[in-house]
Amino acid sequence: MLFDLNKKPVKLSASKNIKKILCVCSHERSGTHFLMNSISINSNYSVNPFLNFDLIPFGDMVNFYSPTSVENFINQISSITHLDQKYKLSSIIKSHHCPLTFKNLFDNPNIVFLYIYRRPIDVFVSFKNFVDHWNWNEGPKKNTLFEFITSSPEGQMQRYQEKSYNNLFLRWAWHVNNWLNICSSTNNVLPIYYEELKINYENTLHKIFDFLQINYSFLKKPSKDDYIKTIEKNYIDDDYEKSIDFINSNLRDFPDLRKIFV
C-alpha cells in the first residue's frame, strides 16, 4: 500500500489487525533487525517494508530535532482510510535516534516502543565493521578497535545525536543510559536485552508480545541473513582486551549500565 506523504509516495504496510503502531529503537548494531524480524515473522507487524525513520527518505518531511514535528509526522502516518475502512500502520518503525526525538510520544496510547541494547564490546566490533563497509564518511575509519571506540563521532553517524561526545563510547553509553531511564518512567517503552533475546528467545518474545497485546502460539525464528551484513574482522587479542578494559573503566561513570554489563 502506498502512503502519500507530502505528495511523495512511500510504500508502507497497513492492517486492520494492528492495535498500536510499533517503533523499534536502538544504538546502531544492537540487534535491531533480529528483534524486528522476530516480531514480524510471528505477528501482523511487517518488516517488508519497514519504515526506516532516517534522514533518507524523510529528511524533507520531518525535523528530527523537533519532538513536535516528529509527533505530527507519526500521527500522520499512523493510520489510513481506504474504501471507508480504517487501517493502522503495520510497518515497524526503526530508529537509532536518542529518546529526545520521541519526547512527545512517550505515554501515548497509540504507539509502543521497544528499545534493544547489547554488550558494548559486541556493539563496537560490529559497528566498526559497519562503518568500514561504506565508501562514504559514516563515521571514523580507524586501524584498530581501540582507536575506533576512543574516536570522536564524525560523518553521517552524527544525525542520530542530540549533542557532541568526546568519543564513541560516551555516545553509546548516553544513548543506552537515557533510553533505559525512559523505559523506567513511561508505560509505552519496553527494554529488550539482546543477549536475552538470543539465548532465551521464546520467553523474551512472550514478554514482548504480552506488552504488545498480541496473541501467540508457536514462535518461529527469523533467518540470520535478514540484516545488513559486513565482512567479519578478527581483532588481535591485545586490541580487543585493551578495548574491553577501556569500556569497563569508563562504565564506572554509569552505575546503572555497570550493573548490567560488568
- CATH code of the domain containing 26: 3.40.50.300
Q: Summarize the confidence of residues 174-182 as an average pLDDT.
A: 98
Q: Are 91 and 23 in contact (CB under 8 A)?
A: no
Q: Is residue 1 part of a domain?
A: no
Cα–Cα dist 144/152, whole Å: 14
Q: Summarize the confidence of residues 189-201 as an average pLDDT.
A: 97
Pull the grid cell for residue 132. Answer: 568500514
- The pTM for the full model equals 0.93
Q: Summarize the confidence of residues 191-196 as an average pLDDT.
A: 98
Cα–Cα dist 208/214, whole Å: 9
Cα–Cα dist 250/243, whole Å: 11
Q: Is residue 2 part of a domain?
A: no
Which residues, listed in sequence order, are joined to residue 235 by a DSSP beta bridge? Answer: none
Q: Is residue 159 part of a domain?
A: yes
Number of domains in the chain: 1
Give the chain's mean pLDDT.
92
Domain residues for 168? 14-261
